[in-house]
Amino acid sequence: MLVQLSIRDFAIVDSLELVFSPGFTALTGETGAGKSILIDALALALGERADAEQVRAGGERADVTAEFAVDALEDVQRWLAEQAFEGDPGRLLLRRVVDRGGRSRAFINGRAAMLNQVREIGDRLVDIHGQHAHQSLLHPAMQRQVLDAHAGLAALAREVAEAYRSWQHLARARIEHETNAAVRNTEREQLTWQVDELAKLALAPGEWESVQAEHSRLAHAASLVEGVQGALDALSESDAAVLGGLSGALSRLRPLVAYDAALADVLAMLESAEAQAGEAVHALRHYAGRVELDPRRLRGVEQRLESIHGTARKYRVKPEALPEQLADLRSRLQVLEIASDLQALAKEEQTALARYQDRARKLGTDRRKAAARLSKEVSAAMKELAMTGGRFEIALRALPEASAAGNEEVEFLVAANAGAEPRPLAKVVSGGELSRISLAIQVITSKAAAVPTLIFDEVDAGIGGAVAEVVGRKLRALGGGRQVLCVTHLPQVAAQAAQQWSVEKAFEGGSVKSLVHPLDGPTRIEEIARMLGGVEVTATTRRHAAEMLGLR
């Protein structure tokens, strides 16, 4: 459940620290005091869209942190472990920061997170019913979502939508293939010829560099042989060879070191020079033994170079890129060959269609069962909400064509009076009746929800009197097993709450602030009396308020 909400510089809130309790809590106060702003702040922490206007005037950034107790929520703890967002045992922190430019950052247990991750975990924690929920219920798509969510069919509905998209993708591919078969065949023939040509060239990775090096060596073989032999003559094989001269110089200096040690360094340098010259002679002789004049091999290497050069020019790539070009062409050819198999495409399409039909039939069957149950439950709730004789039905009508939402459309029907024929929700109810039916649907569907915290933001608009008292009792009953927060203007609803907070607007230092006060005893009686009596609170309204609180 929600344990604490910290708000900084959000809308007209400069700083608030709210600690929440289990059960049913009512948030009351004058219109415009900021009651719904608290819900908006929580929604921001849960991943709702951020806006620069959410930053309080004069503030640098809006900062909202929501703390939840999750020790009893195994699926939440499992998700946190899978996503590497573990925090303190049994606790979860969701934080959202929005700067003046409208840019936002999100955090889960202190770690940076993506918004879709925040929304995913938020959906497991809180279910918010907004004050305009009754208007969204007029749309068929929302009616379908409400039924699927209540029946636990959301996952199956996603399977149906995915199966539909897969089937449609394959159907488009088949049609496209049939339409462009001639063009595809021409392209495939050209690619086949190009792949064969490059495969015959068989240029291996790195071969271009090695062929160039070999050509350079073969083309200059005569110069290499002549130069190496000349170097050998100068070093060791001529009468004035370097090695002989070094040897003579060393034989003259060695006896002299005994007379003057200063010659030792010179002697060491000459001995080193003699050794290195000897190694050079050895290396040159080895090299001379490998270098040979091979005109036939030279012609072969030149032809290879010309073939590689010509092919590279033809394909407008560098010679060393030809192996990669071959791999690309083979890949494209493989795609075309797969796509060109009309029979295989048709088979895949039929398989995808069969899967869609199987999932859609299952969804339709489960929807019909759930629609019958939900219809009875809402009809019973309508009677409790002073709509005696009214009847609620959910119609499932077959669609002329399959869709991503299944094979049927979902429509909420209502008969406001006994004996009347049920008609679409948008056509037969007044604003007050629509609010009551919407509230009945929300309370009933919330009972089946898995989330631990339910929030109702002025969803009781348009009702009053005894009906409001029934609504309050329903929310109180719902709070027996869940944490329920309700923003309300109705004293009959607020009086049923286990806890009540008063939200008021204050002017301090030339700016507007929103303040929240927990109510208890006399202060709660005074707030209920205000809600009953308006501007002037009398002793009579206070007694009435005390009676309402005593009847809980």
DSSP E strands: which ranges in 114-190? 126-129
**Nearest-5° angle of CA 396, CA 399, CA 404?**
95
The predicted model gives 531-544 an average pLDDT of 84
* Closest to 407 in 3D by CA, of 233, 223, 164: 164
**Residue 441 predicted with pLDDT over 60:** yes
Q: Which of 103-117, 210-224, 341-355, 534-548 has the highest mean pLDDT?
A: 103-117
Tell me, what's the pLDDT at 552?
54
The predicted model gives 123-141 an average pLDDT of 76
The predicted model gives 124-129 an average pLDDT of 85
Tell me, what's the pLDDT at 289?
63
Tell me, what's the pLDDT at 178?
76
**Residue 450 predicted with pLDDT over 70:** no
Phi-psi bin for 23: left (phi > 0), alpha (psi -120 to 50), beta? left
Both tokens assigned to 439: 């509230």
The predicted model gives 111-125 an average pLDDT of 92
Tell me, what's the pLDDT at 42?
93
Task: Give per-residue pLDDT as tens, 17-37.
Answer: 999 999 999 999 887 777 888
Tell me, what's the pLDDT at 474?
86
Confidence of residue 513 (pLDDT cuts 50, 70, 90): confident
Task: Give per-residue pLDDT as tens, 155-194.
Answer: 999 999 999 999 999 998 888 877 776 677 788 888 889 8
Q: Express as a percent the part of the chain with pLDDT over 90.
A: 35
42 phi and psi angles, rounded to 5 deg: -65, -40
**Residue 491 parent element (H or E):** helix 491-494
Q: Which of 126-135, 311-320, 424-433 has the highest mean pLDDT?
A: 311-320
Residue ranges per domain, the chain? 1-125+451-519, 520-552
Give 204's DSSP letter. P
Task: Give per-residue pLDDT as tens, 50-101.
Answer: 999 999 988 899 999 999 999 988 889 999 999 999 999 999 999 999 999 8
The predicted model gives 280-287 an average pLDDT of 77
Structure pTM? 0.59
**Nearest-5° angle of CA 118, CA 123, CA 126?**
110
Tell me, what's the pLDDT at 2?
95
Tell me, what's the pLDDT at 95?
96
The predicted model gives 509-527 an average pLDDT of 85
Rounded distance, CA 534 to CA 226, Å? 116
The predicted model gives 428-434 an average pLDDT of 68
Rounded distance, CA 201 to CA 315, Å? 13
Tell me, what's the pLDDT at 219?
66
Rounded distance, CA 79 to CA 84, Å? 8
Tell me, what's the pLDDT at 434?
75
Sign of CA dihedral 472, 478, 481, 485: negative
Confidence of residue 339 (pLDDT cuts 50, 70, 90): low
Query: Which residue did the predictor score with more confidence, 246 or 115?
Result: 115
Asked if residue 442 lies in contact with residue 133, where contact means CB atoms within 8 angstroms, the answer is yes
Tell me, what's the pLDDT at 438?
77
Tell me, what's the pLDDT at 492?
92
Q: Express as a percent the part of the chain with pLDDT over 70.
A: 89
Q: Helices 207-219 and 295-315: crossing angle, nearest 10°? A: 140
Tell me, what's the pLDDT at 534?
65
Rounded distance, CA 462 to CA 435, Å? 6
The predicted model gives 264-291 an average pLDDT of 79
CATH number of the domain located at residue range(s) 1-125+451-519 in this protein: 3.40.50.300
**Residue 293 predicted with pLDDT over 60:** no
Q: Which residue type is seen at 62?
A: A
Asked if residue 420 lies in contact with residue 431, where contact means CB atoms within 8 angstroms, the answer is no
Rounded distance, CA 303 to CA 297, Å? 10
Tell me, what's the pLDDT at 290?
64
Rounded distance, CA 102 to CA 38, Å? 19
Q: Which residues of 459-488 are buried (b: 16+ CB within 10 A; e: fewer)?
A: bbbbbbeebbbbbbebbbebbeebbbbbbb
Rounded distance, CA 4 to CA 68, Å? 7
Q: Which residues of 254-293 are buried (b: 16+ CB within 10 A; e: fewer)?
A: eeeeeeeeeeeeeeeebeeebeebeebbeebeeebeebee
Q: In Å, how far are 50, 142, 247, 390, 426 from 135, measured between CA atoms? A: 23, 10, 109, 20, 9
Stretch among 21-35, 396-410, 453-467 having the lowest mean pLDDT: 453-467
3-state secondary structure 387-452: CCCCEEEEEEEEEEEEECCEEEEEEEEEECCCCCCCEEHHHHCCHHHHHHHHHHHHHHHHHHCCCC
Confidence of residue 250 (pLDDT cuts 50, 70, 90): confident
Give 33's DSSP letter. S
**Nearest-5° angle of CA 414, CA 416, CA 422?**
35
The predicted model gives 367-394 an average pLDDT of 89
**Residue 362 predicted with pLDDT over 70:** yes
Asked if residue 436 lies in contact with residue 385, where contact means CB atoms within 8 angstroms, the answer is yes
Tell the burial category of 300 from Cβ atoms under 10 Å away from its Cβ (0-12, 13-18, 19+). Answer: middle
**Residue 446 predicted with pLDDT over 70:** yes
Give 255's DSSP letter. G
Stretch among 177-181, 204-208, 422-426 having the lowest mean pLDDT: 177-181
